[in-house]
Amino acid sequence: MMDDTITVIVNTYNDRAHVGRAIQSVLTQTLKPHEIVVIDDGSSDGTGEFLQREFGKRILYHYHPNRGLPASRNVGFELSSGRWLAFIDSDDYWAEEKLELTLAETLGRPEVGMVACAGFECTPEDKVLCTVGFPQPYSMDVVRSELRRRNPFIPSGAMIRRDVLQQVGGWPEDMRYAEDIVTFARIAACYEIAAVHRPLFYKTVLPTSMQFDAEKVLHYGPRSFQMCKEALGRTSWPGRWLDEIAYRQGVTQVFLHAAWVYSGRHETRRAASCILRGLLKWPFLTARQYRSIYWLCANLLQHDRQESVPAGVK
């Protein structure tokens, strides 16, 4: 059926080491996609030659000069023809039932504009770090509440109806980080997001992942939550007041995340500044968040002590 056609859009940039596994996980799906569109965002590591040699006409390969991940996803969208668009980053891969089980959630449900599945975060050696699941109980009210303060979805676990993605304007190309939560919030404002609670994707956490770029996190993170608040915002009280609280909570998490990144880079002053800015934005944290701050501060103090020990004494 035409309504069941799926285009898989694979985004890659200088990731020859992993992209083959991502595409292979698409080719071995129990439900075969209509087409596989691979967007190469300006790779210089021989990715194009590798893909054409390994996969040939089984994929539609497109190369363009580097424009960033959101723009690449939009190019994939423009080149696609399926009614449903499934996205996968080149360093991730899928379980073989991913497309079959996500498409099953759309049958007879015209109100569904997107389907998301649970998954795992893994090291490059495939060691599972954590499970990426959904808030419980799962409902659109809960999803919208979550999207005001954090992102419960991963693009490699998402499948979006093409007319819905077109309606919300695709992926915001002026965002170089956290663009996905903005798109998901805009979809959630108008459509149902169905969920498959079985883990069906594996997200590889690499040292080069954007979540470890503290400068991008700080620049785009608060802006993304502002855009989510605008997409999902309520105009009456107390909804408007609650939206502002959720926004402040989300921004505080951005500062705390950046503080951990700076701590790992031994940039004590920047880490401490992020902690302070986060607490000033929203000081009423959970016990778990305060424990995280405690351990972060302990790490910073330990590093300072090590730095203050004279050479030859250690």
- 65-114, pLDDT tens digit by residue? 999 999 999 999 999 999 999 999 999 999 999 999 999 999 999 999 99
Indicate whether 314 pLDDT > 50. no
Q: Determine the pLDDT at residue 87.
A: 98
Q: Taking residues 285-313, report their average pLDDT.
A: 78
| Model pTM score | 0.94
Q: How confident is the model at residue 302 (pLDDT cuts 50, 70, 90)?
A: confident
Q: Determine the pLDDT at residue 60.
A: 98
| DSSP 8-class letter at 57 | G
CA atoms within 13 A on the CB side of 217: 20
Helix (H) or strand (E) holding 229: helix 214-232
* β-strands 93-94, 192-204 pairing: antiparallel
Contact 171, 185 (CB under 8 A): no
Indicate whether 313 pLDDT > 80. no
- 255-278, pLDDT tens digit by residue? 999 999 999 999 999 999 999 999
